[in-house]
Homo-oligomer: A and B are copies of this chain.
């Protein structure tokens, strides 16, 4: 299981989504959410070489226009660019939304001299409003000029919504005497935990990866990273992970049984995990970062149910916010998770300290437990002592500020739009 795997150590490098050779990125400010704003809100990532590209898209049955369009385009192969915006999700926008995304990918393709189907699109922001195309399309030539091998930070900044920090990460990997690089940018925050997750991630690598292997490695890495923070089916209308491989490095081709395949898979998983952790740590107004580890469940599904139920429990989250070592709320959530459990077998730990033994209060003084739960980051281990299956997720507390922050998004957005004469 993931938490028991040995993590290989990789060399961190700067450069994010342009760390790998042959990729350029950049961003401009279009005023998509607010015409008066000057923040970056339209990003472009480009491969100068042909690519194998894999995508993971939201499982939400309500899908934004860029998700629908990208799912079509990616079938073509040889994707050359990803255009991504913040400020508007282009979700629940019907035929107009599809037409707007297509127009954007077409304009980008023309600037880059590629076909429209070689361009993918991502959006994040408010649901239910059409895109301000009059402020986007005329700026595409400028966007195409803004890309460079140093543009990762600008692209990372342009896809932020309620994120307080850009999320960017890259590693260099050695294998069989050659090196390759994997890096990416991501945005998360807002809706990640516990109920809605608008997450976008674009990863690039100059390793040469066989398309079938790229698919396997991407799916496995997403399962071990982003799917541990976006719980259950709670994905947004726009969630998208894109991995582009252009083979610019000298490293040998990575196929299902190549010597470098295990290290490539581990490196891709590592990059996604680091980006996923950045998202959780930057969750909207949260103050705690908590890993829930479930051990010795009867089955993998049981372990997963327990971890996700505890992570989602509102009252458990409130107790973490207060730094309260309330193991009673944890065991209560374990009880309604649907997993097979024996109350009298359950042990619960905060950090390395046992809080409940065999379903009963341990003798650990509550002051000692509090020293763990009042830290900004800690682990909660739930040992079911029934089998040998494990699972873990990363989650956060719930703060008063989260509620306040989320109370009036729609009205505010409609009013902003009205003031600019758009509705």
Contact = CB atoms under 8 A, between A and B. Distances in A.
A315 B344 CA distance: 36
B361 A324 contact: no
A341 B61 contact: yes
Interface residues of A, number: 73
B336 A408 contact: no
A136 interface: no
Given A195-B312, A328-B91, A406-B318, A411 B344 contact: no
Interface string A229-256: 0000111110000000000000000000
Contact of A128 (B62, B312, B327, B338): B327
Contacts of A404: 400
B408 A398 contact: no
A308 B61 CA distance: 16
Contact of A326 (B195, B234, B237, B409): B409
Interface in A364-407: 366, 370, 398-407
A127 interface: yes
B315 A191 contact: yes
A215 interface: no
Chain B CB count within 10 A is highest, among A91, A326, A334, A398, for A326
Contacts of A236: 332
**How many copies of the chain does the oligomer comprise?**
2
Contact of A196 (B237, B325, B333): B333
Contact of A195 (B92, B314, B356): B314
Nearest to A334: B62
A193 to B, nearest CB: 9
Contacts of A233: 336-338
Contacts of A121: none
Given A315-B191, A414-B366, A60 B408 contact: no
A313 interface: yes
A315 B196 contact: yes
Contact of A127 (B91, B329, B366): B329
Interface string A87-129: 0010111100000000000000000000000000000001111
A403 B343 CA distance: 28
A32 interface: no
A359 interface: yes
Given A324-B408, A403-B398, A407-B321, A331 B94 contact: no
Contacts of A323: 407-408, 411
Contacts of A126: 328
A361 B92 contact: yes
Interface in A210-237: 233-237
Given A196-B329, A341-B61, A360 B314 contact: no
Interface of A: 59-63, 89, 91-94, 126-129, 191, 194-196, 233-237, 312-315, 318-319, 321-329, 331-338, 340-341, 343-344, 356, 358-361, 366, 370, 398-411, 414-415
14 contacts: A59-B336, A60-B335, A61-B341, A91-B328, A128-B361, A129-B361, A195-B315, A196-B313, A236-B332, A318-B406, A321-B407, A324-B411, A329-B409, A329-B410
Given A323-B408, A329-B409, 12 more contacts: A92-B331, A92-B360, A237-B332, A314-B314, A318-B402, A319-B408, A319-B409, A319-B410, A324-B410, A326-B410, A329-B410, A398-B403
What are the 4 tightest A-B residue pairs by CB atom distance, in nearest-first order?
Answer: A322-B407, A127-B328, A62-B335, A318-B406
